[in-house]
Amino acid sequence: MTETTIAVLGAGAMGSAIGRMTKEAGARVLTSLDGRGDANIARVRLHPVSIVPPGVAEQTAQRMAPALTQAARKPMYVDCNAISPETAAAIARVIEPTGAPFVDGGIIGAPSSLKFYMSGADAGRTLALNQRGLVVRVLEGPVGAGAASALKMSYAGITKGLTAFGSTMSLAALRNGAGDALMAELSESQPELAAWLTHNVPRMPPKAYRWVAEMEEIAAFIGADFPEHRIYEGAAALYARLARDKDATQALENEKYFGKYEWASNEGQARAADFSVIASKKRTARLLPA
């Protein structure tokens, strides 16, 4: 098997996990933490994989552009940030004059169970990473359409948007003395939703500061012509507040609030499953001849 060498731009939790997985699968992995290794990355034909906060994704491409321009043999620049197709197209315009191929990418999942979606004319070349510990899927569509970024924005808009809705209404309920009643009712009548919120909301506060720019990218993805983009402007403002409001984050992280209803969510899910079986039997009975 030919050696695969990648350079992870951004060594946060996600970048570190990707580096670890690919290295364990036999890839050579390097990183550039402060820009001083950019020229070396381009010189030895490492494939830069950008995994940075969305607010600095374009700046990172601009930082790499001189080194890519000077490289005699062009590496492939893979942008895997949580950005809108419009921002992906802007980054493609930064990379294009360097002569390096550009791939629009999107990452879905937790660091322990990642899936990479790639799009663009050279996206097929990233399928080699399937042999290096990653799960890579190629989407149809030109780079300008940003198919991978569009998928990432849509998916994150649902999952992180739902976290924003759950956090917002939980905080409002707690401020007005209805917090326990809200979670009790959700556990009884919406057990799957209650279980999802119980799992995800308390884990969100440490990541809130990173989600601000992502919500802004989702708002841009929806488009200013559509009033619903304001939902995600509001989500960005919420996450910005939670990044600095310790009282609010402590309330959301409080196991006495979300944790105390976990048993009810599990019990409610069991009841919902039993009801589903009964309802299915009734529908079948109606279809059978007397």
| Residue type for position 115 | K
Length of the chain: 290
Rounded CA-CA distance 41/31 in Å is 8
Q: Are 103 and 119 in contact (CB under 8 A)?
A: yes
For domain 5-145, the CATH architecture is 3-Layer(aba) Sandwich (3.40)
pLDDT at 56: 92
Q: Are 275 and 194 in contact (CB under 8 A)?
A: no
Instruction: Indicate the pLDDT class of residue 254, thresholds 50, 70 and 90.
Output: confident
In the three-class reduction of DSSP (H, G, I as helix; E, B as strand; rest coil), residue 88 is classed as helix
pLDDT at 273: 45
Q: Render the burial of 90-109: b for 16+ CB within 10 Å, e for the rest.
A: ebbebbeebebbbbbbbbbe
Q: Are 246 and 232 in contact (CB under 8 A)?
A: no
Rounded CA-CA distance 60/6 in Å is 16
Per-residue pLDDT at 256 exceeds 60? yes
**H/E run at residue 175:** helix 147-175
CB neighbourhood size of 200 (10 A) = 16
Rounded CA-CA distance 179/168 in Å is 12
Rounded CA-CA distance 121/134 in Å is 20
Domain extent listing, the chain: 5-145, 150-287
- Per-residue pLDDT reduced to its tens digit, 70-109: 888 888 899 999 999 999 999 999 999 999 999 999 999 8
- Per-residue pLDDT reduced to its tens digit, 261-277: 554 445 544 444 443 44
